[in-house]
Amino acid sequence: MRYYRAILFTVLIAVSGTVQAQSGRIPVASDSGMVVSSHYLASEVGMEILRSGGNAVDAAIATAFALAVTLPSAGNIGGGGFLVYHSADGEVTTFNFREKAPLAATETMFLGPDGEVQDNSNHEGPLSVGVPGTVAGLWLAHQRLGTADWATLVEPAVQLAAEGFPSTRAMQWFLEQLAQRSDPLYTATRQAFLKGGTEVFKPGEIWKQPDLAGSLARIRDHGHDGFYQGETARLLSEFMARHGGLITMEDLALYEAEELPPVRGSFGDYDIYSMSPPSSGGVAVLTMLNILEGYDLASLGHNSAQYLHLLTEAMRRAFSDRAEHLGDPNFNPDMPVEHLISKAHADRLRSTIHNEMASESDPERFSSLYLPAESEETTHLSVVDAAGNAVSLTYTLEHSYGSQIVADGTGFLLNNEMGDFNPVPGNTNVSGRIGTPPNLVAPQKRMLSSMTPTIVAKDGKPFIVVGTPGGRTIINTVLQIILNVTVFEMDIAQAVEASRIHHQWLPDITSFESWGISPDTQVLYEAKGHRVRYRTSQGRAHCIMIQGGTLYGAADSRSYDGRAIGF
């Protein structure tokens, strides 16, 4: 116990500045290990695991559990995600722990008598909750690749929850609106997040989470079964039964994560390894890189109008493919993944791009399509250890703070990932409604995702570890960071900080970060037929680059509490 209190003390001291951290466009440099995540306390927990001899997978697991305490908006044990691993000697594998639909789920479970989604039930309330996968995924990765004792990796999170840490200003909006909610469904949420279940914590006040500490302690002591069986499973299933949810003890007992081969491609001298379906991200990124490989992008200049035009046209085509073909491979065995990531397919798509004129996204291309809204609240962490092994891990609750539901006695927020299924077959339109059979609801099916944990390798070794939150913008953020490094020779901090754009086929409009693209560039870009809208920011990428034996970490300044820590 004293050891972990010492870790927490070290963590709190680190916040005052004794640990080097990224500032603006200057990356953190390290020779022995690097952890980059969305919360400084979690990054320090992961770094302590590396310092004590753990490998990259160990550190990623410890960081992820710590984020379940310190980043309740997205860090989680009530959600799911994906992990990509690349060893120093060339082994590459991935872990799929995306949530599943409960056994009682049906294709029309969210629809009212009028055939439309009733009461936003796919995003709010107990029907929106998928069977969580995070604990199973981290457990499987540890069984396969971890070296440290499992309990050692979970214990720092237990202590953070039990002893508390300073509440952050980034939580204020959630706490203030939660204090106004009286619905009995959120009684345990209020108890977990508010002082006495009623009063908002002020920034800097110590926030303790005893119920979450109990759930984490069961995971520490019993591994996978500490979540999917026993007390936690009982509390969750009984809560669901009381409130009209679908998740049962059987659903939890049946859940297993999967180890899968990555999708793999190349871009110039680099090998790209990313997540295969049910993530759509890897396929889309490889499709776009294959298209763009046919142009001399460097000569166009970073974020020039012509560069942005070609980027947009690649995005348009990859997202169209995504809508038509991708879903859970266990329910869609004939998905043409190898075709979609082939150079030949990219050649055909490139031949349809006009250098001076925007294409038109045609909502009539498919019938019976509907694309559900996909939240941008996710979190990503990157780790490289002293041996050069690398982990890229992205996981989520879907919306910020997920469903905002906590089951009595558990202390953790539940996801609302069922909203990532297509809830209403049909009704394609220019506003972005698209939906295909591969991603309709079915029992035990995993919903399609845009999470894109990716590792770029050079000469058989990890070179860039990249990932970000951001809903469907994840895919395009990862693409642009890869291009920023490989084409425009930016260091990793510059690549992360550079402004980004996003286009997703439908709606047919490009979003620009409001501070990032000059008015002159916008005029030239729009003259080609593109439409533009502005957003405040896109993604919060946490990345590592390995160059000349040195690790360079970058925590996105768009992330309020993010931190890159190396030693």
Catalytic residues: 378
In the three-class reduction of DSSP (H, G, I as helix; E, B as strand; rest coil), residue 486 is classed as helix
Q: Decide: 129 and 406 in contact? Cβ < 8 Å.
A: no
**Helix axis angle, 305-325 relative to 519-526, nearest 10°?**
60
| Helical ranges in 363-490 per DSSP H | 473-486
* Helix count and strand count (H, E) for the chain: 19, 19
Q: For the purposes of burial, counting CB atoms within 10 Å of the CB of 354, is it exposed (0-12), middle (13-18) or buried (19 or more)?
A: exposed
- Residues 6 or more apart from 490 whose CB is under 8 A from it? 484, 498
Residue 271 to residue 282: CA distance in whole angstroms: 13
Backbone angles phi, psi at 206, to 5 degrees: -75, 125
Find where tokens 């920034």 sit: 203
| Helical ranges in 273-365 per DSSP H | 281-292, 297-300, 305-325, 337-340, 343-351
Residue 504 to residue 66: CA distance in whole angstroms: 33
Strand stretches in 406-541, DSSP E: 454-458, 461-466, 501-502, 510-513, 532-535
Residue 395 to residue 392: CA distance in whole angstroms: 10
Backbone angles phi, psi at 550, to 5 degrees: -105, 140
Which two structure tokens, joined as six digits, stand for 552?
A: 């360079």
**How far is C-alpha 1 from the geometric centre of its chain's CA atoms?**
32
Picking from 470, 471, 450, 456, the residue whose alpha carbon sits closest to that of residue 545 is 456
**Helix axis angle, 2-13 relative to 40-51, nearest 10°?**
130
Find where tokens 């969305």 sit: 38
H or E segment to which residue 272 belongs: strand 270-274
Residue 394 to residue 84: CA distance in whole angstroms: 9
Residue 281 to residue 131: CA distance in whole angstroms: 22
Residue 457 to residue 86: CA distance in whole angstroms: 9
Which DSSP symbol is given to 126? G
Q: Decide: 442 and 105 in contact? Cβ < 8 Å.
A: yes
DSSP characters over 196-239: TTTBPPPTTSEE--HHHHHHHHHHHHHTTHHHHSHHHHHHHHHH
Residue 257 to residue 81: CA distance in whole angstroms: 10
Rama region for 365: left / alpha / beta (φ>0; ψ in -120 to 50; rest)? alpha
